[in-house]
Amino acid sequence: MKIFLAQQNYHIGNFESNTQKIILAIEEAKKQQGDIIVFSELSVCGYPPRDFLEFDDFIRKCYASIDEIKEHADSIAVIVGAPDRNTVKEGKDLFNAAYFLYNKEVTGIAHKTLLPTYDIFDEYRYFEPAYEWNVIEFKGKKIALTVCEDIWNLGHNPLYRICPMDELTKQQPDLMINISASPFDYTHDEERKATIKSNVTKYKIPMFYCNGVGSQTEVVFDGASLVYDKHANLCGQLPMFEECVQGFTLQDDGTIACPVVESAEYIPEKQLTPVGLEEELNISQVHDAIVMGIKDYFTKMGFTKAIIGSSGGIDSAVTIALACSALGAANVRSVLMPSQYSTGHSVDDAVQLSVNLGNPYDLLPIKNIYDAFLTELKPIFKDLPFSIAEENIQSRSRGNLLMAIANKFGYILLNTSNKSELATGYGTLYGDMAGGLGVLGDCYKLQVYALAKYINRQKMIIPENIIDKAPSAELSPGQKDSDSLPEYDVLDKLLYQYIERRLGPKEIKAQGFDAALVDRVLRMVNINEYKRNQFCPIIRISPKAFGVGRRVPIVGKYLS
């Protein structure tokens, strides 16, 4: 039996485009004598559709797409993901479903049982869990068809009370097919392989796993679809961050007719959980995820050009370099906006960066604008000493200039704030926190440096001085980030323990962090939730990103 995996990049709610993409892949698989072609979770409408699922018109369009697709399921079986209405009055109105199409008919439907409602997922908001489990028979094979989370309820601490494969295995299936929308984070690649391998080891039948690819605003899907034979050997892995359609021949004895990629005995050399900082990252994956996040955001929104404030610092330099990779250098406009507190080398470094990248740049000093603000505010400010108010006027002046140019010429402003800054509130609302998309908002400062080194891996793109110099906002004379924040090599590790690992102050202090510092940093994180709540969407690369995946109260008292 020849089974194709179609790892595709869908556009949420773009039914015409998604349907045509699916049909083209079906026709290609037919040419190669495929028996089954498998698409990813909610492929018809795109994942995650969120509250679009509450619109009857949206669901009608899903059904219309299924009707169109099934006309091409004649000589080949097609597995696609789409919502399915619940005909039982009790419970939610929809199921998250995998449709099995053959002979131009819907010959089987598998409903998702395990509905993730944590981190970025909120599926129980919309869907009813499955209440029956049946294999699908096709060409003499019994197929256990499941949807994404349905295969993740293994291990020492199961999240759910039921395991769909335990139910399906009672009917003696010959193979497992799982359709997924499993998002990327820098710990997830090996974790995903381990989960699928555990299923194969437990049930002793092969697994065909089809994952989606592409970015949906904050959430990046990396693809990396997998095929395991019944002995738990990895026999196929589709590329990460790329669309791909590939066929695999399943033999009657449960093996796959292709060379083994990783044997069942393979154990990853390094787990990515201890600290999650620059030394633990697969930095090439993080780089590619962010580039895809930028590219898909612009493509799917119909935008073409980005604008970025270029300070001569590490964050703006990395953001500009990533944007040039995603959009092309000609479509990324850098704006240098020095004040009287900016150093000459910062301007020189910013210019050199754009020269190296070949992207257009402008020089717009803000001294006159800043002085005009101070003149108008003098009757109110009187002779009060210089403070954060004057610092923030500079940042907001820059934000105004960037947004003015963006509005005038149709650019989208990319934000350069990193996760360390967002965590501690080290940023100015409506100033350097302005933007349409947060490129580095899920990267700690140390991870930004790791990205810079990766960008420079073949030749010098980011000037060495940008990487080597002490970080500074340059909003006051001689200012350094370390004047307001702990050193990043301490701060980032502390933040990781609180944000990613959700450890409390007692546990973090027990790791050797200074007790007063722990209390201070955790308080900074919690009292600045109001700032993050107003921030733009952030490209997610970690297991716990700010935004839709981290929901804490703005006015909470905990640790503040």
DSSP-derived pairing of the beta strands 437-438 and 105-111: unpaired
- Of the candidates 191, 117, 123, which has an alpha carbon nearest to the alpha carbon of residue 154? 191
> From CA 337, how far away is CA 377, in angstroms rounded?
22
SS3 (DSSP) at 227? strand
> From CA 490, how far away is CA 484, in angstroms rounded?
14
In this structure, are residues 440 and 319 in contact, taking their beta carbons and an 8 Å threshold? yes
Measure Cα distances from 419 to 37, 69, 267, 504 in Å: 40, 43, 32, 19
Radius of gyration of the chain (CA): 26
3-state SS, 318-370, equals HHHHHHHHHHCHHHEEEEECCCCCCCHHHHHHHHHHHHHHCCCEEECCCHHHH
DSSP designation for 77: E
Tell me the residue length of the chain.
560
Q: Which sequence positions are flagged as catalytic?
A: 41, 112, 148
Q: HSE-up of 438 (CA within 13 Å, CB side)? A: 28
* Residues with Cβ within 8 Å of residue 515, at least 6 apart in sequence: 509
